[in-house]
Amino acid sequence: MDAPASEKRLEQLREKAWQEGVVPGRGVDVVGGPIPRKPGYYGEPVVKPPVWTWEVPLYFFFGGIGGMSAVIAFGAFLFHHVDLARTAIWIAAIAGAVLSPLLLIMDLGRPHLFLNMLRVFKHRSTMSMGAWILTAFGTCAVPGLIALELHTHQIFRGTLDQLLSFAAGIFIFGAAMFGTLLATYTGVLIAATAIPAWFLHRTLLPIHFGTAGLGSAAAVLELVGHRSAALNFLGFYAAAVETVLLIWLSVDKHGAADRAIHEHGSGWLIRIGELLSGPLALILRLLGLVPFAGISFLIGALVSRVGWIVVGKVSGSDPEAVFASQR
């Protein structure tokens, strides 16, 4: 017995929808209907794309600068470069202990949400760990700055001054430890997700974020007037690593699973950022143009942070990328 004409028509519509995505005509457009326009859950993304706004890439950027400035401050303090240590710990306190929490709270929307994350310590939650790392960093960086300033200006004499010097060293050491975590955990944060382009490069991201933070901190210190062989070496090192990571990113492709990195505007943002902080900054340093190398690295580090957030949004909205990453 032949199928009714209405059922045959429905089968034709389904076939055409699968081939073309939309069936033109009054009353047959399947957008949002039961026939998917593309692979996914009824045309919707399989995973939820990130909803972060402009505050988050800035938080990543300033957190990297603040964290790695504390590392430089500890090295400078250890080798008795007091002026460099003072400037570095000031930058660490402003970028890591003031701007970073402010940007994170702005993204959360309400201050008490940040405090709520400190009620419980969850070592398996990157968000919980991040809140605790940021708090511990500020707890070390600010007292370290105060103790170092009091010691430098010789506010007190004798034993009390020696205690201030010792306290400054202890607090700055703590800031350096938590600063390293602050600069790199953001790479872990976005990698520990179901977003294909992020998860597939989970090894690269913490290295990239940490290196970008180190190079940015060195660049800021050079731009405010500190010139030394050590800072120049850090600038060379960071630019060289970023160049290698750019090559790695260009070679380590996963087809449709991470095409957000190699296609679309998101891919261009990643490449522009890596070119500015990698090859271009390296060439400018080789030519002795240190300030321009620093500016190039800073712009590249910021653009790459924005690029990775955009990549996450594009990749999370692409069902084919999710399916390809599971194969």
Q: How many residues does the chain have?
A: 327
Exposed/middle/buried for 230, CB within 10 Å: 0-12, 13-18, 19+?
A: middle
Tens of each residue's pLDDT in the chain, 327 residues = 455 666 777 777 677 766 665 556 555 544 445 444 455 555 566 777 788 889 999 999 999 999 999 999 999 999 999 999 999 999 999 999 999 999 988 888 877 777 777 777 776 667 778 889 999 999 999 999 999 999 888 888 888 989 999 999 999 999 999 999 999 998 888 888 888 888 888 888 999 999 999 999 999 999 999 999 999 999 999 999 999 999 998 888 877 777 888 877 788 899 999 999 999 999 999 999 999 999 999 999 999 999 999 998 888 887 777 777 766
Q: Taking the complete model, does pTM exceed 0.85, yes or no?
A: no
Q: How far apart are CA 115 and CA 120, in angstroms?
A: 10
* Nearest in space to 92 (alpha carbons), one of 118, 76, 69: 69
Q: How far is C-alpha 45 from the geometric centre of its chain's CA atoms? A: 24
* Nearest in space to 89 (alpha carbons), one of 69, 61, 75: 69
Is the separation of the CB atoms in 35 and 14 below 8 Å?
A: yes
Is the separation of the CB atoms in 104 and 55 below 8 Å?
A: yes
